[in-house]
Structure 1
Amino acid sequence: MNTTADSTSDNTSRPFGFWLKAVDRLMAQDFATAFAAEGATRRDWRLLNVVDGSVPARRPLTPHKLHDLIDRGWVEADGDGWALTDEGRAAKERLGAAVDGLRAKVAGAVSDEEMATTLAALEKIARAFGWDEETPLPRKQRPGFGFGPRRGFGPRRGFDRGDFEPRHGFG
């Protein structure tokens, strides 16, 4: 198990946000790699868990949300709801083995006590920023979408060919 005594870097030299992004991106990369053999994503994994009832649905499941899983033959309509097919249960079992491996990696990195402390601290920080159980997390901001500064608008910076050629058009 790795502990702070095993650490080879000064963990105070980088800001809190760096470590949050680092862990998130590295975990996302490991999930993507682990699920690639199935052609699946973390979203597919979450949906399989909702369909089989392991995780409650936050919103009703629709054919639009499930179309990838339906096309693969992993999910089918079942009365008023949805159910995993035999292929879907087998895929969920294979993906579950990959998830267990990733969870083991986390468990091997920190003690149970360190994990509990970390999760409690992160929850307190999230609540300080206004998070609660009823409010979905804000979506990731993408440049050029929504409100705010956009590339290509506003004053030009730097030089381009027009800075050295006569102006044509209006004014």
Structure 2
Amino acid sequence: MNRNKPSFSQFLDFFPPVELPVNLTDDSLIIFSKENKALPVVLLQEFILEHDQSETDEFTEYVPCFQIPNTENFYAVVYWKAQLLTYEYRLITFDLQGNFITGKVIGGTLTNGNTVIKTVANIDEDWIIHIASGEDDVRNPNYNAENTKAYTMELLSTGDIIFSLSDDDLPL
């Protein structure tokens, strides 16, 4: 075993299990940032950056949030990723040996300077992820709830994440 390579259990230690249901909003990040230790770069590189399909730079931030409890055949963790004008909650899964299975964005905020898309998520006891997303003009102080789209994702016992939309496309 390579002594310089971090272990998967070291990575998981940064993601405390939570009691479900759990809500993921902008305010949730404050709690995770206060209560959880920062993820060391070596663990970030080994278990997150290797599978992150988006560009990152020296200003990109990551905050470990939590681990989904009571998984038997896999591990599922949620982390927060911040980049310029994009803030995301990401759910990623690994098999029992620490091999990446899949990952999805499940919430966050995205803006282009003119419009803002806010997406909140609730993960229930059955690993159903209820997601609500709304888009509005950044200058509008009163959000119109008619612009909200709702859909669900499900975390399967295999560690796969599937989704079904009730509207056209995923916002994030």
Same fold per superposition (TM over 0.5): no
**Higher relative contact order (Cα pairs below 8 Å, separated by 6+ residues):** 1
Query: What TM-score, normalized to structure 2?
Result: 0.25
Select the structure that is richer in strand: 2
Larger Rg: 1
Select the structure that is richer in helix: 1
